[in-house]
């Protein structure tokens, strides 16, 4: 049996309740994106990807300014030089500085990748969200159109476009986005189908919200996770497709250089002048790696089930 602790009498006076205290929230406010950022930061591989991406973008912007050679000047006397202190990445068959061309090419490849991703984003999000929200006939029709377009042989489409519109940056981007948006549309539609039956959407409907309001204020903001991840993974896909098309000779016209055209020109010279393929090839790989790793990291950071 224990001894009762000695307690002064006044301690037993009633204290009453503080209502405001009863409703107080202790923890600091953490918005959704802050939480995502914290989880993303913990992923070392993803952070490595971010660093890599930052370096690549930095070089794309400042790289060509670092050397006195520009990407288009021919210097036939110095053709096919191996990397040296003069030409850090060597020269190609026309004597052009590979370093300058690589970073000039980076601008083009990254631009193509980003442009394609953004166009896919806009078309895909609008198409997918309207289709998913409206449902019924509208949904069926819209998705059938997408399916048909998806089924058209891609390469054939690109070649026809190239022939009709001529080679160039614009044509290249058009070629990639003509079917690229379909993936995004499907993802967004899936999200919207899931989300439109949530009670907060019903609440908004009872308040009298228009479809536009529901799409832009409720559905799309809650789908940004998968949208962002898809976008991040579209960029490397676009870069790779560009490289592939360039390799087939459908790329940007000379003297413009993209990594794809450089690789395409470098391949036949692989045996004797390997640096001409090596550098563009290396940076294609690094860029794709960086964005893929960032995309994966984002997907994990956004996954509510992994949330603690």
Partner 1 sequence: MSRLLEVKNLAVSFKTYGGEVQAVRGVNFHLNKGETLAIVGESGSGKSVTSQTIMRLIPMPPGRIKSGEMLFDGIDLAKKTDKEMEAIRGKDIGMIFQDPMTSLNPTMKVGAQIGEVVIKHSKVSKAEAKKRAVELLTLVGIPFPEQRVNQYPHEFSGGMRQRVVIAMALASNPKLLIADEPTTALDVTIQAQILELMKDIQKKTDTSIIFITHDLGVVANVADRVAVMYAGQIVEMGTVDEVFYDPKHPYTWGLLASMPSLDNEAEEELAAIPGTPPDLTNPPKGDAFAARNPYAMKIDFEQEPPMFKISDTHYAKTWLLHPDAPKVEPPASVQRRMRKVDNVYRTPVLVAKDGE
Partner 2 sequence: MTDKLLEIKGLKQHFFTSKGTIKAVDGLTFDIFRGETLGLVGESGCGKSTTGRTIIRLYDATSGEVLFNGENVHGRKSRSELKKFNRKMQMIFQDPYASLNPRMTVADIIAEGIDIHGLAKTRKERMTKVHELLETVGLNKEHANRYPHEFSGGQRQRIGIARALAVEPDFIIADEPISALDVSIQAQVVNLMKKLQRERGLTYLFIAHDLSMVKYISDRIGVMYRGKIVELAPSDELYRNPVHPYTKALLSAIPLPDPDSEKTRQRKIYDPSIHDYNGEEPELREVSPGHYVSCSQAEFATYTT
Tokens 């999200």, located at residue: 191
Picking from 73, 113, 112, the residue whose alpha carbon sits closest to that of residue 94 is: 73
Three-state secondary structure call for residue 93: coil
Q: Which does 221 bind (CB under 5 to 8 A by kind): partner 1, partner 2, none?
A: partner 2
End-to-end Cα separation, the chain, in angstroms: 43
Q: Does 77 bind partner 1 (CB under 8 A)?
A: no
| CB within 8 Å of 41: residues ≥ 6 apart | 47
Nearer to partner 1, 37 or 150 (CB): 37
Q: Which does 14 bind (CB under 5 to 8 A by kind): partner 2, partner 1, none?
A: partner 1
Burial of 179 (0-12, 13-18, 19+ CB in 10 A): middle
Phi, psi at residue 97, to the nearest 5°? -70, 120
Site for partner 2 in 137-176 (CB under 8 A): none
Q: Which does 199 bind (CB under 5 to 8 A by kind): partner 1, partner 2, none?
A: partner 2
Minimum CB–partner distance for residue 27 and partner 1 (Å): 5
Q: Does 21 bind partner 1 (CB under 8 A)?
A: yes
Q: Indicate which single residue of 13, 29, 156, 197 sits in contact with partner 1 (rule: CB under 8 A).
A: 13
Part of the chain binding partner 1 (CB under 8 A), chosen from 9-17, 67-75, 88-96, 289-297: 9-17
Residues linked to residue 91 through DSSP beta bridges, in sequence order: 97
Query: Interior CA angle at 242 toward 228 and 183, to 5°?
Result: 35
Q: Does 66 bind partner 2 (CB under 8 A)?
A: no
What character string, x for contact with partner 2 (CB under 8 A) and - otherwise, covers 215-234?
--xx--xx------------
Q: Does 27 bind partner 2 (CB under 8 A)?
A: yes
Structural tokens at position 210: 């228009």
Three-state secondary structure call for residue 17: coil
What is the CB neighbour count within 10 angstroms for residue 63? Answer: 19
Q: Does 207 bind partner 1 (CB under 8 A)?
A: no
Q: Does 4 bind partner 1 (CB under 8 A)?
A: yes
Q: Indicate which single residue of 29, 33, 37, 38 sits in contact with partner 1 (rule: CB under 8 A).
A: 38
| 247: Cα separation from own chain's centroid | 23
Interface contacts to partner 2, rule CB under 8 A: 19-20, 23-25, 27, 29-32, 198-200, 202-209, 213, 217-218, 221-222
Residues in touch with partner 1 (CB under 8 A):
1-5, 7, 9-19, 21-23, 26-27, 38, 308
């Amino acid at each position: 049996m224990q001894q009762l602790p000695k307690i002064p009498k006044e301690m037993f006076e009633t204290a009453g309740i503080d209502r405001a205290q009863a409703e107080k929230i202790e923890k600091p406010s953490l918005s959704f994106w802050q939480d995502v950022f914290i989880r993303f930061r913990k992923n070392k591989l993803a952070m490595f990807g971010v660093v890599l991406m930052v370096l690549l973008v930095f070089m794309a912007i400042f790289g060509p300014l670092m050397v006195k050679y520009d990407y288009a000047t021919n210097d036939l006397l110095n053709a096919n030089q191996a990397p040296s202190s003069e030409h850090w990445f060597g020269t190609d068959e026309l004597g052009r500085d590979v370093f300058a061309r690589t970073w000039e090419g980076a601008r083009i490849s990254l631009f193509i990748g980003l442009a394609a991703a953004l166009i896919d984003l806009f078309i895909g999000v609008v198409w997918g969200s309207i289709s998913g929200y409206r449902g019924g006939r509208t949904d069926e029709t819209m998705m059938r159109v997408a399916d048909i377009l998806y089924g058209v042989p891609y390469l054939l489409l690109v070649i026809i476009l190239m022939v009709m519109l001529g080679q160039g940056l614009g044509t290249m981007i058009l070629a990639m986005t003509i079917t690229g948006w379909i993936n995004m549309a499907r993802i967004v539609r899936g999200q919207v189908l899931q989300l439109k039956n949530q009670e907060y959407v019903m609440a908004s409907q009872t308040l009298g919200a228009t479809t536009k309001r529901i799409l832009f204020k409720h559905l799309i903001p809650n789908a940004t996770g998968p949208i962002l991840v898809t976008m991040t993974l579209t960029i490397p896909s676009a870069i790779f497709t560009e490289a592939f098309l360039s390799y087939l000779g459908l790329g940007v016209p000379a003297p413009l250089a993209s990594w794809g055209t450089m690789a395409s020109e470098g391949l036949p010279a692989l045996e004797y002048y390997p640096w001409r393929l090596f550098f563009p090839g290396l940076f294609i790989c690094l860029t794709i790696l960086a964005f893929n790793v960032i995309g994966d990291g984002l997907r994990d950071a956004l996954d509510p089930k992994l949330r603690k």
